[in-house]
Structure 1
Amino acid sequence: MKVLYINNYRDGTGWANAGINNMLALDAAGVDVVPRAITFNDKDSEYPVRLRELELKHAKRSSNVDCDVVIQHTLPHLYSYDSNYKNIGFLAVESHDFTKTNWQRHINLMDELWVPNAESKDAAKRSGVKIPVQIVPHSLDMDSYQNTEGRKIKQLEATFTFGFIGEFVERKNIKALVKAFHMEFNPREPVTLLLKTSKTTLEEVQTYCGAIKKGLKLRNAYKEETVVVGMMEHQDYVSVMSQINCFVMPSRGEAFCIPALECMALGIPTIYTAGTGVGYAVGHPVRSTWQPCFGAVDTLPNLDTSDTKWKEINILELAEAMRTVYNKYKEDANYLKDLCIAASKKFDHKAVGEHMKELLNDG
Structure 2
Amino acid sequence: RPIHVIPLGVDLTVFTPGSPRTELIDRTIFLSVFEWSRRKGWDVLLTAYRAAFQPRDPVVLVLKIDHRADGNPLRELAAILDEHAPPVAVLYNQTLTAARMAELYRSVDCFVLPSRGEGWGMPALEAMACGTPVIATDWSGLTEFLDETCGYPLPIRGLTPTGMASGPYAGAQWAEPDSDALVELLRRVHQRREEARALGAQAARRAQNWTWTRSAQTICDRLRAIGV
Partner of 1:344: 207
Structure-2 separation of matches of 1:241 and 1:354: 28
Instruction: Read off the aligned partner of 1:283 and give its amino acid letter.
Output: G
Name the SS for the 1:132 alignment partner: coil
Q: Does 1:228 align with 2:96?
A: no
Query: Which of 41, 44, 47 pairs up with 1:179?
Result: 47
Deviation at 1:332, TM superposition (A): 4.3
Instruction: Read off the aligned partner of 2:60 and give its amino acid letter.
Output: T
Number of aligned residues: 217
Structure-1 separation of matches of 2:54 and 2:72: 24
Partner of 1:254: 118
Deviation at 1:224, TM superposition (A): 3.0
Structure-1 separation of matches of 2:139 and 2:173: 12
* Superimposed CA distance per residue, residues 47-93 of structure 1 (whole angstroms, 9 cap, x where no aligned partner): xxxxxxxxxxxxxxxxxxxxxxxxxxxxxxxxxxxxxxxxxxxxxxx
Instruction: Read off the aligned partner of 2:163 and give its amino acid letter.
Output: F
Name the SS for the 2:153 alignment partner: strand
Question: What aligned pairs does 1:156-171 form with structure 2 within 5 A after superposition?
Answer: 158-171=26-39
Q: Does 1:304 align with 2:169?
A: yes
Structure-2 separation of matches of 1:160 and 1:322: 10
Question: What aligned pairs does 1:198-237 form with structure 2 within 5 A after superposition?
Answer: 198-199=66-67, 204-213=72-81, 221-229=84-92, 230-237=94-101
Name the CA shift for 1:275/1:138 in 2 (closer, same or farther; >3 Å): same
Question: What aligned pairs does 1:131-142 form with structure 2 within 5 A after superposition?
Answer: 131-142=1-12
Question: Which has the bigger relative contact order, CA under 8 A and spacing at least 6?
Answer: 2
Instruction: Read off the aligned partner of 1:245 and give its amino acid letter.
Output: D
Deviation at 1:295, TM superposition (A): 5.4
The answer to which of 350-359 and 322-331 deviates more is 350-359
* Superimposed CA distance per residue, residues 148-179 of structure 1 (whole angstroms, 9 cap, x where no aligned partner): 69xx9x7x553211110010111111011011
Deviation at 1:283, TM superposition (A): 1.4
Structure-2 separation of matches of 1:194 and 1:353: 33
* Superimposed CA distance per residue, residues 309-333 of structure 1 (whole angstroms, 9 cap, x where no aligned partner): 1111111111111112222222441
Name the SS for the 2:140 alignment partner: coil
Deviation at 1:341, TM superposition (A): 1.3
Structure-2 separation of matches of 1:148 and 1:197: 24
* Superimposed CA distance per residue, residues 339-361 of structure 1 (whole angstroms, 9 cap, x where no aligned partner): 11111111112233333333334
Structure-2 separation of matches of 1:332 and 1:286: 15
Structure-2 separation of matches of 1:145 and 1:287: 27
Q: Does 1:291 align with 2:139?
A: no
Partner of 1:315: 179
Name the SS for the 1:209 alignment partner: helix
Q: Does 1:264 align with 2:128?
A: yes
Q: Does 1:356 align with 2:219?
A: yes
Deviation at 1:261, TM superposition (A): 0.8
Partner of 1:143: 13
Q: Is the 8 A contact 2:124 2:136 kept in 1?
A: no
Structure-2 separation of matches of 1:295 and 1:324: 35
Structure-2 separation of matches of 1:295 and 1:329: 40
Q: Does 1:330 align with 2:194?
A: yes
Name the SS for the 1:166 alignment partner: strand
Structure-2 separation of matches of 1:330 and 1:147: 16
Instruction: Read off the aligned partner of 1:266 and give its amino acid letter.
Output: C
Instruction: Read off the aligned partner of 2:168 and give its amino acid letter.
Output: L
Structure-2 separation of matches of 1:287 and 1:211: 27
Deviation at 1:204, TM superposition (A): 4.0
Question: CA RMSD, aligned part only?
Answer: 2.7
Q: Is the 8 A contact 2:54 2:84 kept in 1?
A: no
Question: What aligned pairs does 1:234-249 form with structure 2 within 5 A after superposition?
Answer: 234-249=98-113
* Superimposed CA distance per residue, residues 246-267 of structure 1 (whole angstroms, 9 cap, x where no aligned partner): 1111111111111001001101
Name the CA shift for 1:200/1:193 in 2 (closer, same or farther; >3 Å): farther
Q: Is the 8 A contact 2:15 2:129 kept in 1?
A: yes
Structure 2-normalised TM-score?
0.84
Which runs of 5 or more residues in structure 2 are unaligned?
none
* Superimposed CA distance per residue, residues 7-30 of structure 1 (whole angstroms, 9 cap, x where no aligned partner): xxxxxxxxxxxxxxxxxxxxxxxx
Q: Is the 8 A contact 1:275 1:311 kept in 2?
A: yes
